[in-house]
Amino acid sequence: MKHETILILDFGGQYNQLIARRVRECGVYCELKPYTTPLAQLKAMDPIGVIFTGGPHSVYAPGAPSVDPEIFSWGVPILGICYGCQLLAHLLGGKVVPAQDDSAREYGKTPARFDTGCALFTGLPAGSVTWMSHGDYMEKVPDGFVTAAWSDACPNAAIADQARGFYGVQFHPEVNHTEYGRQMLHNFLYEICHASGDWTMGDFKDQSVAALREKIGTKKVLLALSGGVDSSVAAALLAEAVGSQLTCVFVDHGLMRKNEGNEVQAAFAPWPIHFVRVNAEERFLQKLAGVTEPERKRKIIGEEFIRVFEAEAKKIGAVDYLVQGTIYPDVVESGTGDAAVIKSHHNVGGLPDYVDFKEIIEPLRLLFKDEVRQLGRELGLPEYLVSRQPFPGPGLAIRVIGDITKAKLDTLREADFIFRDEIAKAGLERTMDQYFAVLTNMRSVGVMGDGRTYDYTLALRSVTTADFMTADWTRIPYDVLDAVSTRIVNSVPGINRIVYDITSKPPATVEWE
Q: How far apart are CA 407 and CA 262, in angstroms?
A: 20
For 303-325, write each residue's pLDDT tens digit: 888 788 778 878 887 778 888 88
For 79-115, write each residue's pLDDT tens digit: 999 999 999 999 999 988 876 655 445 566 788 999 9
Q: How far apart are CA 461 and CA 457, in angstroms?
A: 13
Check whether 335 has a pLDDT greater than 60: no
The confidence score (pLDDT) of residue 92 equals 94
Rounded mean pLDDT, 208-216: 93
Check whether 146 has a pLDDT greater than 50: yes
Check whether 347 has a pLDDT greater than 80: no
Check whether 47 has a pLDDT greater than 50: yes
**CATH numbers and ranges of domains, the chain:** 5-192 (3.40.50.880), 201-386 (3.40.50.620), 399-500 (3.30.300.10)
pTM: 0.67
Q: How far apart are CA 163 and CA 143, in angstroms?
A: 12
Check whether 32 has a pLDDT greater than 50: yes
The confidence score (pLDDT) of residue 277 equals 93
For 470-481, write each residue's pLDDT tens digit: 789 999 999 999
Q: How far apart are CA 355 and CA 367, in angstroms?
A: 27
Query: To the nearest whole number, what is the mean pLDDT of the chain?
Result: 87
- Sequence length of the chain is 513
The confidence score (pLDDT) of residue 510 equals 87
For 240-255, write each residue's pLDDT tens digit: 999 999 999 998 999 9
Check whether 285 has a pLDDT greater than 70: yes
Q: pLDDT category, 469, cuts 50, 70, 90? A: low
The confidence score (pLDDT) of residue 96 equals 86
CA-CA-CA-CA dihedral for 370, 375, 379, 380, to nearest 10: 20
Q: pLDDT category, 329, cuts 50, 70, 90? A: low
Check whether 389 has a pLDDT greater than 70: yes
Q: pLDDT category, 342, cuts 50, 70, 90? A: very low
From the number of C-beta atoms within 10 Å of its C-beta (0-12, 13-18, 19+), residue 154 rates as: buried
184 in Cβ contact with 85 (< 8 Å): no
Alpha helix ranges (H) inside 32-180: 39-43, 83-91
Rounded mean pLDDT, 327-335: 59
For 410-467, write each residue's pLDDT tens digit: 999 999 999 999 999 999 988 998 999 999 999 989 887 767 888 999 999 999 986 5
375 vs 366: which has the higher pLDDT: 375
Reference 24, options 39, 9, 54, 4; nearest CA is 4
Q: Could you tell me what percent of the chain has a pLDDT over 70?
A: 90
- Active site residues per annotation: 82, 172, 174
420 vs 393: which has the higher pLDDT: 420
The DSSP symbol for 131 reads: E
Mean pLDDT lowest for which of 194-198, 350-354, 358-362, 484-488? 350-354
Q: Could you tell me what percent of the chain has a pLDDT over 90?
A: 54
The confidence score (pLDDT) of residue 100 equals 63
Report, in angstroms and rounded to the nearest whole number, the Rg of the chain calculated over CA atoms.
26
Q: Is the bond leading into 507 cis (omega within 30 degrees of zero)?
A: yes
Residue 413's Cβ-side half-sphere holds a number of Cα atoms within 13 Å equal to 17
